[in-house]
Structure 1
Amino acid sequence: MKRSDLEKRTVADLKVLLEAMGLPRSGKKSELIDRIIDSLRLDEQDTGDSDEEAPSEIKESDDDDGFLLLEEEEIESLEIPSEDSSSVIEVKAENDSNEVLEATILEAVIVDSSEAEPRAEARSKPNVSVSLGDSRKSSRAIFLGGLLLVAVLAGGGYWWTWMQDQQTFAVEPARYGDSMEFTMTGGSVQVNGNDMVALLRDNTGSALEKACGDLAITMNGMSSIAYRDAPTSEIGDPTDRDNSGATETRDGYGRLHLAAERSLSYDLLTDLSGRTWTTDGSRCSSSLTWEMNANSVDISVTSWEELTEATTIRSEAIMDFVTPDGDRSMLQNTAFGGTGIAAVDEVLPLFLQPAVPLDLRSTFGSILLEEGSTGTAEGWDYTVEPAQRVNGELLVPIKMEQPSIATCLGHAKLDLLVREGAPWPVEQKVDILIDKARESSDCSWHESAALDFAVPDGQLVITYTIRESTFTAGEHAIVWGDLYNSRPGAGEGIPNTQMQWDGHMPDESTIHAFTVEEAVECLMNSSAGNGVRSALNNDGYLYRMNHANDGVEETWNLSWVDPDSDAGWTLVRSSSTDCTVVNDGTLAPSDAPEYNLNAIPNTLSIAEMQSRMMDTSDFLGATLVLMDGGMLRSDVEFTSRLVVTQDTGLLDFIDDIDEGEVTFTASRSWTDGDSENSFDLIMDAERGRMVGWLQSTTE
C-alpha cells in the first residue's frame, strides 16, 4: 500500500482504523496518515509486505479459536485490486452495474467473557441483558483487527466473505438519509368490548364513529420510513453544526433542541366491519352490524427525536380516511413527548402505533447478535436463531416476546429478519393479544396496577407483516447521546410560579372579563346553588371548570365535590351588569369523582396557561386555529380539570403516577363550507407543558 492509497480514504475511514489500532484519532488528515504508517512501520513508498503478513496473523488467530466481532461503521464502494481475478468475490453494489465488491470499513471488538460487552459510546444505553451460549476469547483481537482493517483497505476481499459466513454482527445506529420502503400484508385488528373499541374510536376522529362493541379491521398497502438529512443551515448555534443532518425543534415548554427528524407514511386499503349503535344512538346494539369495505387510509407521521436523550420530543401526524362513496374525515395531531406517566407510555404504543418498523439500535444497542444469543432488550425477551439466506442475502432471525404482557394480558410477539447495516428489520411479523380477562396469578401487583390504569377492558388482537421493498443508506451516523452546546439546561424555560388552590384553580385572567373568582363570589352571594356553597365552605373544591363565551355573555360551568363525595354542577352566567346562577344539579354516586383534598397539586393560574398557549413562536400550529389578529377567538372554550385517585396508597406501587393531575384544555368547533371542524388542545397545568393538540375535519 502506498501513501496515496491512504490519502484516497476519508478522514472518517482513517479514524476508524486508528481507533481499532488503539491510536489517537485527533489531528489533520496528513497527521492521521503519518500515525498509521509509523505505527505499522510501513514504508511510505511501498507497504506491500504488510498486506502479505496480514493473512498469516489472522490465520494464527483462527488456530487459537479466537473470535472477532466486526462492526460496520462506514460503507463505501471500493475497487478491489487482485493478482488472481478468480479470487475476487463479486457482490452487487448500489449504483454500480459492473457489480464490484462493496467493501466495508470494519472495527474489531473483543469478546472476552461469557457476556458480550457493547463498545463504549456516548449514548444512553437501552436496558439490555445478554447471555451467549458459546463465548470465545482472543488475546490478539485489537492488533489483528487493525491488520484486518488494513487488508480491507488494500483490497483483501476474502476477509469480507469470511465475516459474512460468521453470521454475527452488532446493530448500527441509523444514518441521516436512511430510507426504507416496505409493504404491509395480512394486517388485521380485532377489537371486542366497548371500552377497547372506544380507545380506537376516540383516536381516529370520525372514521370509526359507527363502531361499538366489536370491530374488525383488515389492512394492506405500501409504507415508507426515513431519517431526513437536514442542511446545517437549520442549526442555529454554529458550535453545534458538527451534528450535520440534525435539525431544530421545540419541546412542550417551547425550548429548542437538536433532533433527528424521522418520517413515516402509510398508503393503505382497509375493510371495516362490526357492531354498531341502535337506531336512536342510545346504546350499542347486540344485533345490528355494519361494514364498509375498500376504504382508503393515508397516514403520515413526522417525529423529532432529541439527540441527547434519544427520545421523541415532538410528533405531527395526519390521517386521511376516504370511503368508497367519497366521504372524508381527516385527523391532524401534534404531540410533545408522551403522557408523562411512565406506566402508560410503555403500554400505549402497543395500541396506537403498532405498525412502525422496530428501531434496532434503540432496542439492542451495540450488543452482539449471534446464533443462540438470548437476553432482554427494552423489556422484551429475545432469542437469536440460525441465519438464513433469502434471495442471496444473509438474514438473522430474532424472536421477541414481551414478558409482562405474556404474564398478565395475553401475548405480544415479534418475529424479525435483520440484515447487517440496516437500522430496521427486513421483515417484521407482529402478533399481539391483549385481554385483561386473561390476567393470571403470576402477574405482580405492580404490573397489575399499571395495566389496570392504562389498559381498557376488552380484547385486542393485532397481526400483520411488513417487508422491505427498497433500502437506501445514508452517509453519516446519527450521534445519539451527544451533549450539544445549545441544549436547554435543567429547569430552563419551566415556570416556577405555581400557586396553591383556594377551592379552585386560580384564574387571574385578563383575556376573559368574567373570572372564576368572580363566579364563585356570585355563587356565595346567591340564594341558589346551595350544594356548591356548602362544598366550598367545608373543604370541598371545584374539580372541573369550563368557560364559554357566546359573544354576548360569558358562562362558567363549575363541577364540585365535597368530603362526603357528594358532587354536582352549577352554571353561572355574567352579562355586562350582573351575574346569574342559571342552573345547578347533583350527580349520581356512580358518576361522582373521588374526593382527595391532599392530592391537589399546586398549579399555574389560568392566566399563565393562556399566555403560554398563545405563544406564536412556540406553538404556531395551535395559535393559527385559536387566535385571530393576535386575540383569542370568542368561540374558544377552555377547561381546567382535576383528576385525583382515591387515597388508598394502591398506586404507590406505580412509579410516576401522581395522586392528583390537573389539565388545562382549549377547544373550538366551526364550519368551513361543507366541512365540520373541531380542535382540542391539552396542557399540563402543574408545569405549563404543552401535551399536544388534535384537529378533526369531516366532509
Structure 2
Amino acid sequence: MGEEPTTNLTVAKLKALCVLNDLSASGKKAELLGRLLEAGVDKETLGIEVFDEKTSTFQAASPEETSLEPEAEVDTDAEGETAAEDEPVMLSLEDDDTMDNVPLPASDEDDKEAGQAGGEDDDVLEAEILEADLVDDEDLDTSEEADEQQEVPLPETSSSNPSPSKRSEKDAMTLLEMVRRPQAIAVMLTVLLLGAGGWYYVNNQLEPFTADSLRYGDSMGYMITEGSFLASEEYVSLVTDRLDDPPNYCKIRLTFQGESTASITEGTGAELSTQSSDDRLGAVKIRGGQGMSWLAVESVNDMSFSQFDVSGHYPIASKCSDFTTDTTTGQADLTLTSWKELREQVVLATELDFAATLSATAYEGTAFTYGVGGIFGDLEELSPGLGMVIAPVELTDFFGNAYITKDATGTSSGWEWRVTGSEKIGSTNMWKVTASHRDVRDFCLGYATMTMWLDADSPWAARQTVDVAISSSEASQSSCSAWQQRGVDAVLPEGELELHHTFERTTLSRGIKAIELGKTYDNRPQANDLNPDDDELVNWGVDGTHLPDNSTVRQHPLDEAMDCIDEFSGVASGAVTALDNDGYVWRAVDKQNGTSTEWNLSWVDSDTTAGWLHFSVSGGGAETLACEFIAKGTFDESVSHNRDSIPKVLPLHAIETRLMDDQRFPALTGPAALFDNNGPHESTSMGYLVVVPGTGFGIDFSDLLDTSGATTVDVQRQWQDGTKDRSFSLLADASDGRLIGWTSLSTEELG
C-alpha cells in the first residue's frame, strides 16, 4: 500500500507489549509499532488493519484480537467443557469490554447445601473488579469530551446470581481469573519484578517536558548549603574604600548557609487603579528609572542565613596570608526583589534589603538598582545573565519553550546548557542540566558554571549548584591568547572573585493564575514620555568648561563657584591655566558647610595633564562672593582629554528637580533620604562625573568595546541618627535623567 502501518492501540498499550516482549519501551508511537513488528508480533495483536477474505476488504483488528498474547486453540473434553489444565495464561488490558461479573467459587460444603436447598435462589456475594487502564495522553482529550457528552450511569446491584456468559475461545483471561490460578500469579509476579517492574517502568519512566509557566502566588522553600564567597586584592578595595577607616585586608572570605523562599507576588486589585479591567490581575505597580509607573511581575527571594561568617586576611611580606585573619561570626537576613515588566519582559528594578549582626555591630540597609546591575555590578554589563547565580533559576526565564529531554541543548542570557541525563533526588527522578557562561569563558575572565536538577512540577530548579570564579591572575589565563589577556588586564581589577553554593528545594506551593508576559496594558508609558526633549539637553563638551548648574535650591551652585577660579592663579596656576585654555572639569562635587559651600573640582588639560582643586565659597547674592583656597593636587594615573566623547546632557539643576519630584521617586524624599520638601538636606552633597574612553581609573571597557563617553550625577548624604551611622547614595544618568540606583545603609554598635 506504500503507507506506514497504523494501529488503533494507544502508546501506553504498545509500551506494555514492548515490555512483555522484552523490547525497549522508549520512543514515539511509530517507533514502538515498528519495533514490535520487527520482533514478530502479529498485526492482529497490534491492532493493524488485516485483510478479510470474506469481504475482500481491509478490516481493523477486533478488540478481542488486541490481547498481549494471541491465544492458542484450546481442546475441549467429551462434554464440551474447556480443559482448565491446558488453558494458556493470558494477560489482558481489557479496556473496551466490561468484565463479566464472576461469582466467587463455592466450597464443597456450599455445594452440598445448595443441593439440599432444592434450587432455591440464595443471595450470592459478588466481586466486582475495577480495572486500572493505561491511558495515553493522546486519548485524554477525546475521553474528556465523551465524559462531558454522555452521562455514565451508576452500576446496578443485583441480589441474584447472574449466569456468567460463555467466554469465547479467544477471550483473554480476566484479572480475577488470573488471581485464582497459581501459574497466572507466577507469571504476573515475574512481569512485575523483571527490570524493577515492567508495569512500573511503563507508567513511571521520566518523561520529557517543557518548563511550566510561573503563576502568581507560586512559592518554593529551599535550603542554602556549602556557601562561600571570596574577594581578593582590588575586589576588596571596591568594598573597603567606602569605609571611613578601612582595614588593610588583602582578602575577604564569607561562609554562609541557611534557608530561603522564592516566591511570585500575587498582586491585588489595588495595583490596577490605572486599568480599565482586571485582565492583568496579579501584576504589581513599580516605578522605573524615569519615575514612570509600569505593571510588572514581582519575584521575591527571602534568605535567612543562620551562618554568616566573615574573615579578613592581612598581607605579610607583600603576600596575602591565608592564616592571619580577623574573623567575625553572625547571622544575616536578605530579601532580593526584582520586577519584570509585563510587555517587554525586561527587569525594571532590583532591590536588596539586608539586616546582619556581626559580632557587636548591627547593619541594615537597602540597595535599589534600575535595569542591569546587582551583586556583580560592572561584570553584568560585560556578561549579562551572570546574576542568575544568586537565586534559583526560573525555568521559563532560562529555558523558554525548549523541550527538556536527554541531550537537549540551548543558550540563554550568555549561558550554554545541556541536559546530561536523569538522576534521582530523594524519591523523585529529575533531569540533570549543566550550564556554562560563554562570555566569562570566551573573554578569559575565569569560569561560571551551574548544575540544575529539574522536574515538571516545579517552575524553579529543584536543586542547583553554583561555581563562579572571576580572576585576572596569570595562572587562570594560561590558555588565553595575547588579545584575551590584554582584554582581561583592561577590564578586570586585580585579584579574584569567587562564589560557590547549593540550593535544594524543601517545599513547593503552586498558585492558580498563570503569568502572561508579552501583554500590553492601559496607560503604559510611551517612549516620548521617558526621555527629555532635545532642547532640554546641553552640549557643553564642545567648548564649555563644566556641566551647567544653576540650582535655585542649593547655595553656591557650580556656575557661581567657577567665578572663584581666576582668584587662585597664584596658588593653583595649573588649574587656572588649563581651564582658561581647552581644559574642562570632568569631576565636581559640593559639600554644604553652614553658610558656605566647599567644591572639589577635578580638571584635565588638552595635553592630559590633570589635577584637582579644593576651595570654599561663601556670600554671593547681595553680598560680595568670598572665595577661599583649601588644597590642590595632581593625578598619578592618566586622565584622557576628549571633548568629542562628552555626550549631550541635562544640566545639573534639571536632574536635581527630577530627583526631588516625590511623585516620581518617593523614596528619595524624607527624613532618612536625600531631600526634604524644600531641597537637599544640609548634609547632602551633589556632583557629577564625566568618563571618556581611555580614562585610567575604575573599570574601563574602552579597550574592548567601542563606547562613547558617559556622564553621571551622584548625590550622597552621611549623618548621625541617634546611635546609628546612616548614609544614602544615588547615581543617575545625566544624558536622560534616568535613575541608575541608590543605596541606604545604617550601622549601629550594640551594647
Query: Which of 677, 690, 699 is the matching residue for 1:642?
Result: 690
- How far 1:554 sits from its partner (Å)? 1.6
CA distance in 2, matches of 1:330, 1:284: 33
CA distance in 2, matches of 1:424, 1:453: 37
- How far 1:623 sits from its partner (Å)? 1.4
String of CA shifts for 1:482-507, please: whole Å, max 9, x gaps.
12232211232221211011111011
CA distance in 2, matches of 1:605, 1:184: 47
CA distance in 2, matches of 1:384, 1:433: 23
Preserved contact between residue 410 and residue 416 of structure 2 (Cα < 8 Å): yes
CA distance in 2, matches of 1:57, 1:391: 27
Q: Which residue of 1 aligns with 2:456?
A: 420
- How far 1:375 sits from its partner (Å)? 3.0
Paired amino acid for 1:569: W
CA distance in 2, matches of 1:615, 1:306: 23
Specify which structure has the bigger relative contact order, considering alpha-carbon pairs within 8 angstroms and separated by 6 or more residues: 1
CA distance in 2, matches of 1:690, 1:284: 41
Q: Which residue of 1 aligns with 2:501?
A: 464
Query: Which of 609, 616, 624 is the matching residue for 1:573?
Result: 616
Q: Which residue of 1 aligns with 2:211?
A: 171
Matched, 1:491 2:528: yes
SS in 2 for 1:476: coil
SS in 2 for 1:396: strand
Matched, 1:521 2:555: no
Paired amino acid for 2:615: V
- How far 1:165 sits from its partner (Å)? 2.5
TM-score, length-scaled by structure 2 = 0.69
- How far 1:511 sits from its partner (Å)? 1.4
Preserved contact between residue 321 and residue 328 of structure 1 (Cα < 8 Å): yes
Q: Which residue of 1 aligns with 2:658?
A: 612
Distance 1:619 1:54, change over 3 A: farther
Matched, 1:393 2:425: no
Distance 1:391 1:417, change over 3 A: same
Matched, 1:65 2:48: no
SS in 2 for 1:175: coil
SS in 2 for 1:598: helix
String of CA shifts for 1:367-401, please: whole Å, max 9, x gaps.
11111222333322222122233333231111111
Query: Which of 631, 634, 643 is the matching residue for 1:587?
Result: 634
CA distance in 1, matches of 2:200, 2:592: 71
CA RMSD of aligned residues (A): 3.8
Q: Which residue of 2 aligns with 1:275?
A: 313
Q: Which residue of 2 aligns with 1:436?
A: 472
Q: Which residue of 2 aligns with 1:139?
A: none
TM-score, length-scaled by structure 1 = 0.73
Preserved contact between residue 347 and residue 454 of structure 1 (Cα < 8 Å): no
Distance 1:575 1:582, change over 3 A: same
- How far 1:272 sits from its partner (Å)? 2.1
Query: Which of 418, 440, 448 is the matching residue for 1:405?
Result: 440
Tell which deviates more after alignment, 296-305 or 566-575: 566-575
Query: Which of 348, 366, 371 is the matching residue for 2:401?
Result: 366
Query: Which sections of structure 2, spanning at least 5 residues, go unmatched?
Result: 1-7, 16-26, 34-97, 100-128, 152-197
Paired amino acid for 1:557: N
Distance 1:630 1:567, change over 3 A: same
- How far 1:146 sits from its partner (Å)? 4.7
Paired amino acid for 2:364: M
Matched, 1:673 2:714: no
Q: Which residue of 1 aligns with 2:156?
A: none
Q: Which residue of 1 aligns with 2:132?
A: 87
String of CA shifts for 1:292-315, please: whole Å, max 9, x gaps.
353111111222111122222122
Paired amino acid for 2:304: D
Matched, 1:218 2:255: yes
Query: Which sections of structure 1, spanning at least 5 residues, go unmatched?
Result: 1-52, 68-81, 90-102, 107-142
Preserved contact between residue 618 and residue 626 of structure 2 (Cα < 8 Å): yes
Paired amino acid for 2:437: Q
Paired amino acid for 2:212: E
SS in 1 for 2:563: helix
Paired amino acid for 1:65: E
Q: Which residue of 2 aligns with 1:691?
A: 740
Matched pairs, number: 570
Paired amino acid for 1:87: A
CA distance in 2, matches of 1:360, 1:287: 39
Q: Which residue of 1 aligns with 2:599?
A: 556
Preserved contact between residue 249 and residue 315 of structure 2 (Cα < 8 Å): yes
SS in 1 for 2:525: coil
CA distance in 2, matches of 1:217, 1:211: 17
Name which one, 1 or 2, has greater alpha-carbon Rg.
2
SS in 2 for 1:239: coil
Matched, 1:263 2:263: no
Preserved contact between residue 240 and residue 484 of structure 1 (Cα < 8 Å): no
CA distance in 2, matches of 1:336, 1:664: 15
- How far 1:58 sits from its partner (Å)? 8.7
CA distance in 2, matches of 1:406, 1:642: 31
Q: Which residue of 2 aligns with 1:26?
A: none
Paired amino acid for 2:454: V
Paired amino acid for 2:625: D
Q: Which residue of 2 aligns with 1:184?
A: 224
> What is the percent sequence identity of the aligned residues?
25
Distance 1:361 1:353, change over 3 A: closer
- How far 1:62 sits from its partner (Å)? 5.2
- How far 1:690 sits from its partner (Å)? 0.5
| Mapping 1:268-307, distance limit 5 Å | 268=305, 269-276=307-314, 289-307=324-342
SS in 2 for 1:518: helix
Q: Which residue of 2 aligns with 1:239?
A: 276
